[in-house]
Amino acid sequence: MKRFYFPISNASLFILLFLVVLFSLNFRLVQPSSSYTVIPFLCFSFPIVYLFFIYQTKKPKPVYLLDFTLFKTPHTFRVPFATYVEHANLVFDPKIAHFQMRVLQKSGLGEESAFPPSVHYIPPQPTFIAARDEAELVIFSVIDDLFAKTGIKPREIDFLVVNCNVFNPVPSLTSMVINRYQMKSSVKSFNLGGMGCSAELISLDLVKDLLQLYPNSYGLIVSTEIITPSLYLGKQRPMLVTNCLFRMGGAAMIVTNRASDRARSKYELQHVVRTHLGSLDKAYQCVQQQQDDEGYVGFSLSKDLPAVAGEALKTNLTVLGPTVLPISEKLLFVRSFLRRRFLNPKTPPYIPNLRKAFEHFCIHAGGRAVIDDLETHLRLTPEDVEASRMTLYRFGNTSSSSPWYSLGYLEAKGRMKRGERVWQIALGSGFKCNSAVWKCIRTVSEPAEGAWADCIDKFPVNVPDAINL
């Protein structure tokens, strides 16, 4: 038999009962001549007050983004095109090097993206020690900056989530962070691996749910991809593309449900929507880590990836749209649906005007083709995808942290105003499409800092269709 669930504690229940009785007795004393009795009043008032308590308990608690920081790669780590082409010719066969050069020409990357030191060696040295060194550099750098920026102490953190797709050592990356910062023994830690480029918003969704259960808490999220073990040294072309796109990067953020921190927070979380197409073989197999015939491990990107990504985005938008679009756009969508259903099945579906729901867009900077496809399918303008294009140009594909580099770009440009909404979109293997909607609490007017500080005045730049190498 299903047991009845009390959404409030026994102590709260007794306090509620005591208050109702006290109010009843007081009412009786004020009106001694009336025929009023306590018992009928209790029977009437207690359910009403109890339902109010249920509503207050069940109502989602606001989740605030206190602040975030981005990893800024040292200048000595950058990999200009000339350096990449020279190293590729020394490490790979001429045909393989030429193929990578052609991919790089149309990649949308600039001259400032960075590789870790292990990849700069000839031949590269993707050792376990080098991967751990890269992880410590990226993760500790963004956390140090975040604690200094917010004034939060490590022992105040209640939840810790670290997501990294490929590199998952033992002890875990979360244990590495806890040991470095001497966090309290009660901290709840989660290490997410193999979740692809959309892992950051999965981490956010996890912490959001935890904050609904634990009041007055802080959650620390660290999102990165360690490039050292991801380097592919084989000859399979679908697996060589990742060498040309993925670069060093990372982000850290602190989210909280403390009402006292709202005034100094930057954003309030409005929605997180996660959709997964893993039940479809075509979607499941479009991005896979594989081992080739020579024993080299890498990531194979299927030709079906753009189509799968579009379908995943459509599924995600179908769930998110009704909660964020104005009624005018909903009516236009319904009209289009009815026309296709009953009048002309060939009528193209109506694509809502998303600029009526969001002022800013932070699309996952997975590659030029990804940004182009989303710009077309969502009917966005070049200004809408500017942050994502400049993120790809300056930092490359930093995997799950890329939407935060795009948001950092918008902040550095002074475009985030109070009350405006920003939509973060992330696509990842599996195949997954995750999105988050933030509302700006206060105008971000401080000077540009962090990863964009020394270069924001140069942007936006014109990214040519192909670079002459």
pLDDT in tens, 258-268: 999 999 999 99
Burial class (CB in 10 A: 0-12, 13-18, 19+), 222: buried
Express each pLDDT in 338-359 by its tens digit: 887 788 877 777 778 899 999 9
Q: How far apart are CA 35 and CA 38, in angstroms?
A: 10
% of the chain residues with pLDDT over 70:
87
Cα Rg of the chain (Å, integer):
26
Per-residue pLDDT at 357: 92
Is the pLDDT score of 12 beyond 70? no
Tell how strand 432-440 and strand 188-192 pair up. Answer: unpaired
Partnered with residue 434 across adjacent β-strands are 274, 426
Three-state SS letters, 124-142: CCCCHHHHHHHHHHHHHHH
Q: Of 316, 314, 301, give the one whose Cα is nearest residue 350.
A: 314
pLDDT tens-place string over residues 165-215: 999 999 999 999 999 999 999 999 999 999 989 999 999 999 999 999 999
Q: What is the DSSP string of 386-406?
A: HHHHHHHHHH-B-GGGHHHHH
Q: Cα angle at 333 between 327 and 337, to 5 degrees?
A: 145
Closest by Cα among 225, 140, 236 to 396: 225
- Nearest Cα to 113, choosing from 168, 86, 75, 87? 75
